[in-house]
Structure 1
């Protein structure tokens, strides 16, 4: 049994990693503020604010076989390495595809990166630069693994992004649904359960280097069509151009009043992240339909008509559909 410390472990991805590590027989400790949820059953929870000067006091007096860090804040990663790096055998950082300087086309692990953030705290608009600085800090360590995750989907997604279309199709039934005219846009979605299991196994096996954690290549159109099929949708899909959506204040990708997964061409590379190294590292991925089905079950349990963190409200969507139809020739 290995001692495994998850720096996080109470949020969506961190919690799933901790659960998988427990299932694999590891002695798991989760250090986090705990504001995102509870540590999984079977894990030891250490409450701590990683921005505080003595955040690691309760875990720095022992050797850790494995450390897995999910932070996006360079200062937190640096302080964790300073406190624990000399005694930890293996360190894994969960990074992101947003680290790349040019995200318009295909991406490999050797593609050019953004300049690292010069500072300890990254704001939302500095997410990629902050993660580059986190990676830079982790590379000081002798045995480290950096996993650059792409879009993550599956049950429990707190961003409300991936499940939007399946949930909306299920809610609409035979009534119309608005979709962006980006059917050919490249897209990759990795199931959180597959990603987390692979991360836990890779850390356990001592894997090192930098690797993408991504789903199989597909398109937004194929994902939307599969979501409609899983939801049993029998209505019409009203397709709106990107320019029309922008003119009407609809946002891209995620967040309030958005159409999720739609990206400008400058970011299509987020759906073209090379997966060859991940497959060589042992990543196994379930069919996308299984991820969508499990996500829809979770969406139903949480309420199809709830206020969402990503997407359009149903009333707003219907108003936009009416306006789009009125403008049709």
Structure 2
């Protein structure tokens, strides 16, 4: 594709998109971020404030020839309107999708050819996976041969706004020599460090790669992830485990959100942590050691406050209450 000069990030002020924008700035590109403007754009970029729901959202940028366009939106309508306005002016397009596009989560080892969920249709109630399927279709129909579709799994690392991955290393550090509650689980976890993913997203744009790639780590048993997080945090208390049935009976949820045990999944959801990463590896994608990501995450968690209110996980007070209920059984 040659030297990239003009790059448009649809977003660029969020967590992952900000990392991607900074990769392009560091490479010497002229980077424009189109976003609502509620947050500052990364240093070295130009912010175009726009509401992607508005009819004139792309008027400011539609007259430019873009070497690379990057979009991360999970709103199919936003992606379709961006494609309509900009596809003819883009040499290459990178769309950041998700492994949630796949129709099945109980089949092990599927690759990028696995069946997808039904695409969202205008007027449907919002469904993240179906919106992403529809968005992918918009990009591929207009930019086939000029588009990279990258489907990340669980993105983790410093700055994660979902608070999922950081919960465990943070909680072990907060608990110190006190007990921590964990689920009895045969499930595994597959993660990708935000910096490894940003490197890949930059590389496929720089190289003009066209195709579809999962961006997922290797599956690691949840128990092993927790053991490593505990070691990184220096936790010396006990890990007290409870069955899934007991946790659900006490209103503790799976995966993410308030009053959950993050990363915990039903044992049957084997597709979630066994998706193929062969294409990602063939593209040169890195999967750094989990310990390194945990150490970086703990530094960030300490800076943000180990006892802060979180978007995902149990409050320490709720956890202590649940531990007491377990002890009384």
| TM-score (normalised: structure 1) | 0.96
The residue aligned with 1:254 is 256
Q: Aligned pair 1:135/2:163, yes or no?
A: no
Task: Write out per-residue CA displacement over residues 16-50 of structure 1, whole angstroms, 9 at most, x where no aligned residue.
Answer: 11111111222111111133x32110111111110
Q: Which whole-Å CA distance do the structure 2 matches of 1:120 and 1:130 have between them?
A: 11
* Cα distance, 1:219 vs structure 2: 1.6
Residue equivalent to 1:167: 170
Which residue does the alignment assign to 2:77? 75
Query: Residue 192 of structure 1: which of 191, 194, 197 is its match?
Result: 194
Pairwise CA distance, 1:267: 2.8
Residue pair 1:72, 1:122 contacting (<8 A) in 2 also: no
Which residue of 195, 208, 221 corresponds with 1:219? 221
Aligned to 1:147: 150
CA–CA separation in structure 2 for the residues paired with 1:304 and 1:226: 18
Alpha-carbon offset, residue 120 of structure 1: 6.6
Matched-pair contact (CA < 8 Å) for 1:73–1:122? no
Matched, 1:302 2:318: no
Decide which of 196, 210, 235 is 2:212's aligned counterpart. Answer: 210
Unmatched runs of 5 consecutive residues or more in structure 1: none
Question: Conserved in 1, the CA contact under 8 Å of 2:187 and 2:266?
Answer: no
Which of 10, 25, 28 aligns to 1:25? It is 28
User: Under a length normalisation based on structure 2, what TM-score does the superposition of the two structures give?
Assistant: 0.96
In the TM superposition, what is the alpha-carbon distance from 1:257 to its structure 2 partner?
A: 0.5
Distance in 2 separating the partners of 1:266 and 1:119? 32
Q: Indicate if the aligned counterparts of 1:156 and 1:298 stay in contact, CA closer than 8 A.
A: yes
**Which stretch of structure 1 is more off in the superposition, 265-274 or 144-153?**
265-274
Match of 1:268 in 2: 270
Give the whole-Å Cα distance in 2 for the aligned partners of 1:230 and 1:236.
15
User: What are the residue-to-residue correspondences of 1:1-80 with 2, within 5 Å?
Assistant: 1-35=4-38, 37-80=39-82
Deviation at 1:160? 0.6
Structure 2: distance between partners of 1:209 and 1:120: 29
SS at match of 2:61: coil
CA RMSD of aligned residues (A): 1.2
* Runs of 5+ unmatched residues, structure 2: none
CA drift at 1:162: 0.5
| Residue 48 to residue 73, structure 1, CA distance change in 2 (3 Å) | same
